[in-house]
């Protein structure tokens, strides 16, 4: 059953879908009155029946809902700006894996320089990718893609999370490493609700950045003995968190 998100709340039991969602329902799926879809509003998925098809689609609740598939912890992925379309890959696959929000940041080793003039359109594109991935993976939450922040701003956000982890490639080189699973168990015992996972761009987190983050309360996480690419590490971490909590 197709799933669509609406920003507004239901008006009683009815709702209207417009824009891309309406076009997809009418032109791509060729649905008609009487067909059922899932409409997500305020984090709740309602099974609805289409009552009218035009340039806008009118639906009405059937009284049935779909259980939420969201992770019991909110995981924010903070990644140093990577090259090419890697941020798009992280957005799409991170959404499928349960990411709560994405926070790009301007790391010391980031080669990419964010153009603030064009940045708004880039963020809008990433947000659209997150929406499409959330619909495809039957989420009830669309991850929020933030505008890139400076490292100083990222550092100030550490205190807002119950647990903060840094993917540090130097940790992977150690003969004895504390397994990420063990650290996640400690988080689980504390019943923490929000986790921030920080990843560097190509080249990893700079030593000075890692030291400042640790002083602010972050801890390193080991993602195994192999060095992962900038776009692979966040997905590995999300899969590990999902395994531990779900």
- Between residues 93 and 227, the one the model is more confident about: 93
pLDDT tens-digit readout, 173-200: 655 666 788 888 877 666 668 999 999 9
Polymer length of the chain? 246
Cβ neighbours of residue 111 closer than 8 Å, sequence gap 6 or more: 83, 201, 202
- Tell me the domains of the chain and their CATH numbers: 3-66 (2.40.240.20), 74-245 (3.40.1280.10)
Provide the pLDDT for residue 171: 62
Query: What is the reported pTM?
Result: 0.90
- Other beta carbons within 10 Å of 230: 25
Pairing of the two strands 101-106 and 149-150? parallel
Provide the pLDDT for residue 168: 80
Checking if the pLDDT of 115 tops 90, the result is no
Region 125-152: mean pLDDT is 96
Region 145-153: mean pLDDT is 95
Share of the chain above pLDDT 90, in %: 75
Helix (H, G, I), strand (E, B) or coil at 133: helix
Enumerate the H helices of the chain as residue ranges. 19-23, 86-96, 116-136, 151-157, 169-172, 180-189, 207-215, 233-245
Checking if the pLDDT of 110 tops 80, the result is yes
**Residue 246 near residue 85 (C-beta atoms within 8 A):** no
Structure tokens at 119: 């940045």
Checking if the pLDDT of 94 tops 90, the result is yes
């Amino acid at each position: 059953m197709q799933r669509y998100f609406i920003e507004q709340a239901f008006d009683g039991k009815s709702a209207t879908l417009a824009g891309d969602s309406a076009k997809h329902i009418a032109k791509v799926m060729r649905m008609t009155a009487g067909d059922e879809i899932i409409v997500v509003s305020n984090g709740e998925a309602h099974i609805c029946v289409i009552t009218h098809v035009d340039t806008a689609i009118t639906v009405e609740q059937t009284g049935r809902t779909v259980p939420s598939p969201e992770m019991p912890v909110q995981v924010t992925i903070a990644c140093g700006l990577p090259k090419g379309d890697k941020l798009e890959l992280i957005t799409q696959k991170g959404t499928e894996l349960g990411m709560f929000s994405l926070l790009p940041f301007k790391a010391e080793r980031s080669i990419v320089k964010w153009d603030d003039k064009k940045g708004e359109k880039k963020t809008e594109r990433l947000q659209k990718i997150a929406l499409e991935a959330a619909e495809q993976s039957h989420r009830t939450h669309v991850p929020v893609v933030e505008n890139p922040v400076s490292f100083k701003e990222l550092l100030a956000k550490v205190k807002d999370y119950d647990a903060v982890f840094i993917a540090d490639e130097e940790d992977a080189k150690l003969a004895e490493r504390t397994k990420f699973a063990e650290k996640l168990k400690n988080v689980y015992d504390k019943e923490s609700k929000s986790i921030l996972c920080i990843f560097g761009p190509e080249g990893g987190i700079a030593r000075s950045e890692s030291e400042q983050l640790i002083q602010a309360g972050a801890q390193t996480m080991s993602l195994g003995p192999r060095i992962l690419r900038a776009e692979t590490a966040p997905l590995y971490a999300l899969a590990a968190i999902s395994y531990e909590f779900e």
